[in-house]
């Protein structure tokens, strides 16, 4: 039989077998009187199971008519309705895509909720779907404390850990976030997903933090149906893997038995709330109707195996308990079941007619959160600042990049009392490059703290903390390290506003030390000159300063974007410029600056221009701006070429309007890009010039070679240099003027 027919079989089986009393034996004994579960609660939860099942069945019927677009259902997992009953409405829940019954039961805690209608709007991709407005089928609701999750395997677990870690920190710091100070966080996922590296990172982080005595009030709910799409999970693997992990309390229950599930869920909830320690709740269940509507289960399971699973339908087990305890007769249960079908069919016919997203503008409207979500934070007055920061900012003194950035971080930590700085080695050591030195002494271990060595957890924890009212400033120690965890930015942080139609945000400023030109370093992990992983992520902001003065002003605005507008910002700091003091010659001190006045910022879209010459515009950023400033002096003094050098600051979104304004009237444009030429920002810049400039100036790209960075003396030979920029500029101007001009011989610097 084909898979869609199994939905009809399961539907009829429930009706026929419940009427006939032909019900499966319970695997776990039921002692209802000692369970703490009342008759009314049991029947209410059983009703949610039935509603969830009928939504799955309706999705397939409507899909056959091309009226719905999603058929990954919750059938077989309906026992999770118990968790929607046991846990409080205020306990934040990160839900797996098979959590339909949970969501329905939790909705009953909030009067006026309409989970059936909302679910059908979501299935039909209606623009009136209250969470995603038709962008994706997700379980999510601001009022139910359920941030929406996409289908990425286990990627929501690290942020659940972060949210749990934030609860105790919020209490200690007097911050009232989305989770009460006695709240618990829970997340649901499948047995196959528990093997994913992202999930393992979350389990390890939760256990490690608990082992160290940190409060982690979190319940991991593993819904174990024994198979991942078509691959069976080894019998006993989940229990063996998690029953003795340090820092993690293991509990298990029969997910087909509502009473057993209720009892163990109460135990898990009590343990997590009382001890503030994490629980791994292992729920054994079954999967019905295959992985999704397109999954032909008979290609990898025999009909006998499929039918054996169908015999273990949790709705049949709930019916047995209800009948044996006298809560309802078989005919009464079937009557309830059929009344739910009629209700869902009626509502479904209305929901599928509701408006859909139609234009690109409609779809993209929620990529960016609404502006002005929160009012600007006042700049601390001088008395407060002086008492906290003391003599750290002496007027008139000039500093290099790392010191200025350190001072700037101290200021924003003072301005934003909910800001946290964390990452590897950032606390007592002050980071690999001393950028966070002294901040621990100023703001304490609740706000400046070390993370264990795992970028997935660092970024995931930041997302979860942002869910609970914090403004995280996580640090990734080197740019290439982010590749271990990029999905936390791409698949989680940057998608939240999009899939929640702007209702949820996870504001943060991610500090990343990176780019090339470090002396003595090689390889692709410490001397990496590519940030392209970020450039195609919708809604992300990417900033790169070239000096300490601009770093302070840029970072202030990045914090404003995160706090006021809910933006996710990546702030890439050029390592090679951290300690740079001189520009043209040793001892000139030209790359040191005074600390900027409070309130000075470089706003999103603004660029900086040095010089007014129109012979040549050099467009660049980061290390390229530093080298181009050196080249500009040589071009001007030795070759009579009048240049202007433009620092982009913002890599995403590209500051097109500001850039076009600053290059207006220039004869030639040289793009100096320290990243590898293929796929670099230079390609986008040239496209901008070709599309927007008329007449078109002469244009040339001078970028790094498509190579990794070697070690030792050759570490910079694949990169733009001062002298190669001079040569490229001379060649371009010569081409533009149609005259020959021999470049001066000069050693590569």
pLDDT digits (tens, 9 = 90+) for 234-280: 999 999 999 999 999 999 999 999 999 999 999 999 999 999 999 99
Position 746 pLDDT exceeds 60? no
Span 389-594 CATH architecture: 3-Layer(aba) Sandwich (3.40)
What pLDDT, on the 0 to 100 scale, is given for residue 424? 97
Strand duo 471-476 + 419-423: pairing = parallel
What pLDDT, on the 0 to 100 scale, is given for residue 382? 83
Q: Could you tell me which of 446, 421, 450, 456 has the C-alpha nearest to residue 203?
A: 456
What does the alpha-carbon distance between residue 558 and residue 577 come to, in Å, rounded to a whole number?
20
Mean pLDDT throughout 290-296?
87
What pLDDT, on the 0 to 100 scale, is given for residue 747? 42
Same CATH topology for 389-594 and 608-737: the answer is yes
Domain boundaries, the chain: 7-355, 389-594, 608-737
Position 513 pLDDT exceeds 60? yes
Mean pLDDT throughout 298-317?
95
Residue 391 — pLDDT band, cuts 50, 70, 90? low
H, E, C per residue of 166-212:
HHHHHHHHCCCCCCCCCCCEEEEEECCHHHCHHHHHHHHHHHHHHHC
Contact 286, 312 (CB under 8 A): yes
CATH 3.40.50.970 is held by the domain 7-355: yes
- Within 10 angstroms of residue 747's Cβ, the number of other Cβ atoms is 7
Crossing angle of the two packed helices 330-351 and 314-324, in degrees rounded to 10: 140
Cα distances (Å, whole numbers) of residue 441 to 165, 389, 428, 430, 656: 22, 11, 8, 11, 42
Percent of the chain with pLDDT over 70: 97
The CA R_g of the chain, rounded to the nearest whole Å, is 30
What pLDDT, on the 0 to 100 scale, is given for residue 672? 98
- Among 173-182, 339-348, 609-618, 739-748, the least confident range: 739-748
What does the alpha-carbon distance between residue 98 and residue 125 come to, in Å, rounded to a whole number?
18
DSSP 696-749: PPEEEEEEE-SS---SGGGTTTTS--HHHHHHHHHHHHHHHHT---PPPP----
Position 528 pLDDT exceeds 90? no
What pLDDT, on the 0 to 100 scale, is given for residue 742? 47
Q: What is the pLDDT of residues 20-71, one digit of tens each?
A: 999 999 999 889 999 999 999 999 999 999 999 999 999 999 999 999 988 8
For residue 471, what are its two tokens?
Answer: 């403004």
Question: Do you know the residue count of the chain?
Answer: 749
Mean predicted lDDT score pLDDT of the chain: 94
Residue whose tokens read 């972060």: 162
Contact 282, 59 (CB under 8 A): no
What pLDDT, on the 0 to 100 scale, is given for residue 153? 82
What pLDDT, on the 0 to 100 scale, is given for residue 525? 77
Mean pLDDT throughout 617-645?
98
What does the alpha-carbon distance between residue 454 and residue 476 come to, in Å, rounded to a whole number?
9
Position 643 pLDDT exceeds 60? yes
Q: What residues form DSSP beta bridges with 572?
A: 512
Position 740 pLDDT exceeds 60? no
What pLDDT, on the 0 to 100 scale, is given for residue 393? 66
Mean pLDDT throughout 400-427?
97
What does the alpha-carbon distance between residue 568 and residue 395 come to, in Å, rounded to a whole number?
33
Report helix, strand or coil for 398: strand
Q: What is the pLDDT of residues 459-503, one digit of tens each?
A: 999 999 999 999 999 999 999 999 989 999 999 999 999 999 999
What does the alpha-carbon distance between residue 268 and residue 169 come to, in Å, rounded to a whole number?
22
Q: What is the pLDDT of residues 84-133, one digit of tens each?
A: 999 999 999 999 999 999 999 999 999 999 999 999 999 999 999 999 99
Among 3.30.1460.30, 3.40.50.920, 1.20.1440.130, 3.40.50.10190, what is the CATH number of 608-737? 3.40.50.920
Taking CA 520 as the corner, what is the angle to CA 517 and CA 526, rounded to the nearest 5 degrees? 65
Percent of the chain with pLDDT over 90: 89
Residue whose tokens read 């049949």: 316
Residue 522 — pLDDT band, cuts 50, 70, 90? confident
What pLDDT, on the 0 to 100 scale, is given for residue 388? 83
Taking CA 118 as the corner, what is the angle to CA 117 and CA 120, rounded to the nearest 5 degrees? 65
Position 13 pLDDT exceeds 90? yes
Residue 714 — pLDDT band, cuts 50, 70, 90? confident
Q: What is the pLDDT of residues 192-204, one digit of tens each?
A: 999 999 999 999 9
Residue 527 — pLDDT band, cuts 50, 70, 90? confident
- Within 10 angstroms of residue 599's Cβ, the number of other Cβ atoms is 8
């Amino acid at each position: 039989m084909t898979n869609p027919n199994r939905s009809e079989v399961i539907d009829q089986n429930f009706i026929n077998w419940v009427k006939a009393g032909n019900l499966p034996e319970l695997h776990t004994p039921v002692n209802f009187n000692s369970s703490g579960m009342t008759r009314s609660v049991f029947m209410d939860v059983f009703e949610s199971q039935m509603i969830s099942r009928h939504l799955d069945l309706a999705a397939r019927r409507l899909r056959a008519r091309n009226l719905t677009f999603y058929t990954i259902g919750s059938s077989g997992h309906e026992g999770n309705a118990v968790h929607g009953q046991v846990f409080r409405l205020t306990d934040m829940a990160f839900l797996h895509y098979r959590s339909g019954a949970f969501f329905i039961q939790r909705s009953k805690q909030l009067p006026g909720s309409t989970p059936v209608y909302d679910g059908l709007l979501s299935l039909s991709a209606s623009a009136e779907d209250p969470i995603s407005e038709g962008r994706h089928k997700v379980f999510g609701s601001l009022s139910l404390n359920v941030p929406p999750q996409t289908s990425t395997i286990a990627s929501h677990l690290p942020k659940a850990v972060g949210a749990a870690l934030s609860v105790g920190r919020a209490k200690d710091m007097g911050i009232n976030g989305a989770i009460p100070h006695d709240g618990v966080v829970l997340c649901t996922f499948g047995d196959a997903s528990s093997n994913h590296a992202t999930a393992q990172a979350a389990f390890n982080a939760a256990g490690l933090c608990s082992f160290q005595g940190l409060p982690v009030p979190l319940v991991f709910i593993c819904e174990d149906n024994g198979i991942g799409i078509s691959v069976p999970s080894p019998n006993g693997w989940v229990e063996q893997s998690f029953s003795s992990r340090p820092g993690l309390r293991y509990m298990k229950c029969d997910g087909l038995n509502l009473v057993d599930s209720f009892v163990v869920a109460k135990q898990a909830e009590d343990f997590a709330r009382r001890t503030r320690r994490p629980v791994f709740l292992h729920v054994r269940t079954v999967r019905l109707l295959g992985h999704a509507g397109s999954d032909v289960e008979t290609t990898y399971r025999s009909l006998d195996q499929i039918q054996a699973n169908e015999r273990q339908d949790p709705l049949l087990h709930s019916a047995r308990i209800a009948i044996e305890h006298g809560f309802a007769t078989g005919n009464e249960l079937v009557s309830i079941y059929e009344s739910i079908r009629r209700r869902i069919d009626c509502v479904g016919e209305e929901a599928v007619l509701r408006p859909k997203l139609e234009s690109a503008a409609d779809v993209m409207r929620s990529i960016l959160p609404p502006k002005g979500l929160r009012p600007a934070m006042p700049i601390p007055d001088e008395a407060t600042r002086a008492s906290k920061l003391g003599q750290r900012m002496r007027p008139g003194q000039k500093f290099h990049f790392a010191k200025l950035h350190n001072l700037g971080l101290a200021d924003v930590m003072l301005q934003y009392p909910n800001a946290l700085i964390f990452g590897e080695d950032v606390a007592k050591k002050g980071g690999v490059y001393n950028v966070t030195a002294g901040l621990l002494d100023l703001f304490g271990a609740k706000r400046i703290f070390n993370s264990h060595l795992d970028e997935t957890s660092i970024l995931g924890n930041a997302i979860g903390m942002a869910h609970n009212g914090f403004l995280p400033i996580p640090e990734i120690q080197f740019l290439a390290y982010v590749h271990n965890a990029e999905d936390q930015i791409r698949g989680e942080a940057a998608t939240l506003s999009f899939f929640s139609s702007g209702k949820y945000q996870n504001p943060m400023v991610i500090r990343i030390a990176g780019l090339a030109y470090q002396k003595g370093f090689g390889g692709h992990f410490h001397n990496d000159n590519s940030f392209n992983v970020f450039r195609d992520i919708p809604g992300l902001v990417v900033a790169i300063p070239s000096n300490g003065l601009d770093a302070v002003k840029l970072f202030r605005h990045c914090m404003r974007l995160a706090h006021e507008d809910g933006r996710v910002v990546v702030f890439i700091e050029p390592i090679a410029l951290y300690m740079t003091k001189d520009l043209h010659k040793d001892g000139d001190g030209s790359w040191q600056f005074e600390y900027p006045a409070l309130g000075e910022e470089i706003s999103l879209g603004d660029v900086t221009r040095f010089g007014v010459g129109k012979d040549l515009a050099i467009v660049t950023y980061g290390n390229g701006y530093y080298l181009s400033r050196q080249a500009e002096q040589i071009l001007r003094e030795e070759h009579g070429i009048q240049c202007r050098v433009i620092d982009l600051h913002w890599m995403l979104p590209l500051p097109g309007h500001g850039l076009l304004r600053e290059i207006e009237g220039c004869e030639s444009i040289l793009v100096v890009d320290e990243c590898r030429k293929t796929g670099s920002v230079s390609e986008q810049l040239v496209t901008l010039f070709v599309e927007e400039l008329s007449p078109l100036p002469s244009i040339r790209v001078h970028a790094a070679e498509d190579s990794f960075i070697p070690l030792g003396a050759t570490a910079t030979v694949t990169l733009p240099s001062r002298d190669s920029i001079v040569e490229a500029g001379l060649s371009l101007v010569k081409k533009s003027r149609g005259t020959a001009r021999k470049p001066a011989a000069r050693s590569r610097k």
